[in-house]
């Protein structure tokens, strides 16, 4: 029984929708965090290279992101990569061939290009 195109992309859509949810969560976290806390770095910069050159003080605020925001960003990337994996798999299945996975440590750079290993359905 072969699947229709819409049935094949269900898992891809699920992963993309999950990535969108994590992206919305990340946006909410960052908006609420935007003005909360930051580390202030202060210093002094010389405005010239000669003795007695004027100096100017400066301050730079660096935001320290909460752990949940960093984890949400990772979840977005992971779900999008997973969606691409599902898409690649479905394209191979529809193409009529299944590639056999070979550990990268056993491959030479050109072996997959010159001698691809395939399993016919």
The string of pLDDT tens digits covering residues 85-114 is 988 888 877 776 555 555 555 445 444 455
The predicted structure's pLDDT at residue 107: 47
The predicted structure's pLDDT at residue 75: 96
Please report which helix (H) or strand (E) contains residue 118, including its range. strand 118-120
The predicted structure's pLDDT at residue 48: 72
The full DSSP string for 28-68 is: HHHHHHTTT-EEEEEEEEES-SSTT--EEEEEEEEE---HH
What domain count does the chain have? 1
76: confidence class by pLDDT, cuts 50, 70, 90 = very high
Mean pLDDT of 21-42: 81
Q: Which two tokens stand for residue 120?
A: 């016919």
Domain of residue 10, residue span = 5-47+56-120
Task: Say if residue 52's pLDDT is above 80.
Answer: no
Mean pLDDT of 29-56: 74
More confident residue, 12 or 44: 12
């Amino acid at each position: 029984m072969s699947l229709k195109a819409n049935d094949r992309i269900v898992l891809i859509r699920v992963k993309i929708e999950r990535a969108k949810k994590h992206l919305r969560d990340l946006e909410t976290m960052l908006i609420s965090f935007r003005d909360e806390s930051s580390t202030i770095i202060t210093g002094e910069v010389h405005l010239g290279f000669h003795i007695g050159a004027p100096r100017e003080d400066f301050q730079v605020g660096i935001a320290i992101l909460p752990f949940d925001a960093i984890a949400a960003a990772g979840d977005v990337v992971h779900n999008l990569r997973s969606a691409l994996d599902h898409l690649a798999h479905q394209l191979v299945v529809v193409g009529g061939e299944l590639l056999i996975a070979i550990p990268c440590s056993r491959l030479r750079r050109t072996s997959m290009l010159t001698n691809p290993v395939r399993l016919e359905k």
